[in-house]
Amino acid sequence: MTESTLIAETCAAIRPLDEAAMAAAQARQDLLTKPQGALGRLESLSVQLAGIQGRPLPRVERKAVIVLAADHGIAAEGVSAYPSEVTAQMVLNFLRGGAAINVLARQAGARVVVADVGVAAELPAHPDLIARKIAPGTANFAHGPAMSREQAVRAVETGIALLADEAARGLDLVATGEMGIGNTTPASAIAALYTELPVAAVTGRGTGLDDAGLAHKIAVIEAALDRHRPDPADPLGVLSAVGGFELGAIAGVCLGAAARRIPVVVDGFISAAGALLAAAICPAVKPYLIASHLSVERGHGPIWKALGLRPLLDLDLRLGEGSGAVLAFHLVEAACRILSEMATFADAGVSGPQG
């Protein structure tokens, strides 16, 4: 499947969900002081979390969002409403604690982990910046491959390694986040390949393109896919042809987390495209993924459908950074708390259902 020992070993470590833990969680749900199923998807989410973590009472006390930053050569084609310089500027904003993800992570009690995996600028050293630059941005995939196959492998391996480092610090729940001007363009290309939908059906306005800009973006992606003809059965080849370094790293984070039985709350359109790559590399990752929200990017819903996932929230978000995933942390924690803290009928002295 892959020429990378680390990727192969990580995939081999991803096991099916723990059926015994899920059965125990479901049995307890059925005894809690409520009609069975009355808390809907919070109940099924708690059972999924039990299966992921391999314990009947899952916990999500130690939370992190890993924000991967990288630039894209395809931005030179005018596919974004913002200049590429914004990527580096926003990374500095993350490090100062002033971005939306910082605010939302503080509210959720989650740490923000910022990694440069391919920003086109030289960022100043900072104690909270993890420097893992593969290259100063990808190449322009309108004219050639976005990256070499070796770089594609490195991108996925970088995500796996970042997750391993965070797991060593203590981690019960992780969210994927990203920053990279132009990155909805490679995400749309990946979405078109794996959903088998026309490019126009999975390509949105990104940071705010007008109608002419959107039409141009669609044409650029269509021409690039026609030029490269990447094979969906070769996800590293797809990443090499039309991907981004942060997309590969997101795939690695998903794989690394699943190998350690850590649930992954997947954020917006770009993060979902990274999760698609992870699932293409190793389908066993899918049960470890939690769809956080449905963004206004038109390709987001089709990706969730392709992954067999249903998002928890629908708030018309289109920011990225991990913002929607960290908002969903509250629901994930609620699911765990309901399961572990709510009284059973016997505990409360409440009569159960008749019959």
Structure confidence at residue 354 (pLDDT): 81
Is 27 inside a domain boundary?
yes
- Assess whether 27 and 86 both reside in one domain: no
Is 353 inside a domain boundary?
no
Q: What is the mean pLDDT of residues 167-194?
A: 98
Q: What is the pLDDT of residues 44-98, one digit of tens each?
A: 999 999 999 999 999 999 999 999 999 999 999 999 999 999 999 999 999 999 9
- Assess whether 183 and 235 both reside in one domain: yes
Q: Which domain holds residue 32?
A: 5-58+339-348
CA–CA separation, 14 and 258 (whole Å): 6
**CATH number, position 344:** 1.10.1610.10
pLDDT over 80 (residue 355): no
Q: What is the pLDDT of residues 299-317, one digit of tens each?
A: 999 999 999 999 999 999 9
Structure confidence at residue 265 (pLDDT): 99
Q: What is the 3-state secondary structure (H, E, C) of the chain?
A: CCCCHHHHHHHHCCCCCCHHHHHHHHHHHCCECCCCCCCHHHHHHHHHHHHHHCCCCCCCCCEEEEEEEECCHHHHHCCCCCCCHHHHHHHHHHHHCCCHHHHHHHHHCEEEEEEEEECCCCCCCCCCEEECCCCCCCCCCCCCCCCCHHHHHHHHHHHHHHHHHHHHHCCCEEEEEEECCCCHHHHHHHHHHHHCCCHHHHCCCCCCCCHHHHHHHHHHHHHHHHHHCCCCCCHHHHHHHHCCHHHHHHHHHHHHHHHCCCCEEECCHHHHHHHHHHHHHCHHHHHHEEECECCCCCCHHHHHHHHCCCCCECCCCCCCCCHHHHHHHHHHHHHHHHHHHCCEHHHHCCCCCCC
Is 125 inside a domain boundary?
yes
Is 209 inside a domain boundary?
yes
- Assess whether 134 and 174 both reside in one domain: yes
Q: What is the pLDDT of residues 193-239, one digit of tens each?
A: 999 999 999 999 998 899 999 999 999 999 999 999 999 999 999 99
Tokens of 342: 């709510």
Is 355 inside a domain boundary?
no
- Assess whether 68 and 150 both reside in one domain: yes
150 assigned to active site: no
Is 151 inside a domain boundary?
yes
- Assess whether 93 and 186 both reside in one domain: yes
Q: What is the mean pLDDT of residues 325-338?
A: 98
**CATH number, position 134:** 3.40.50.10210
Q: How many domains does the chain have?
A: 2
- Residues whose CB falls within 8 Å of the CB of residue 219, separated by 6 or more in sequence, listed in order: none
Structure confidence at residue 1 (pLDDT): 44
pLDDT over 60 (residue 2): no
- Assess whether 68 and 50 both reside in one domain: no
Q: Give ∠ CA 30-173-89 in degrees, rounded to 5.
A: 145
- Assess whether 76 and 164 both reside in one domain: yes
Is 34 inside a domain boundary?
yes
Q: What is the pLDDT of residues 84-136, one digit of tens each?
A: 999 999 999 999 999 999 999 999 999 999 999 999 999 999 999 999 999 99
pLDDT band at 352 (very low <50, low <70, confident <90, very high): confident
For residues 235-270, one letter each, b for 16 or more C-beta atoms within 10 angstroms of the residue's C-beta and e for the rest, the string is bbbbbbbbbbbbbbbbbbbbbbbbbbbbbbbbbbbb
Is 114 exposed, middle or buried (CB count within 10 Å of its CB: 0-12, 13-18, 19+)?
A: buried
Q: What is the mean pLDDT of residues 10-21?
A: 98
Q: Given 178, 297, 321, 333, which residue is catalytic?
A: 321
- Assess whether 11 and 88 both reside in one domain: no
Tokens of 74: 């395809």
- Assess whether 69 and 204 both reside in one domain: yes
Is 180 inside a domain boundary?
yes
- Assess whether 100 and 219 both reside in one domain: yes
- Assess whether 21 and 169 both reside in one domain: no
- Assess whether 43 and 118 both reside in one domain: no
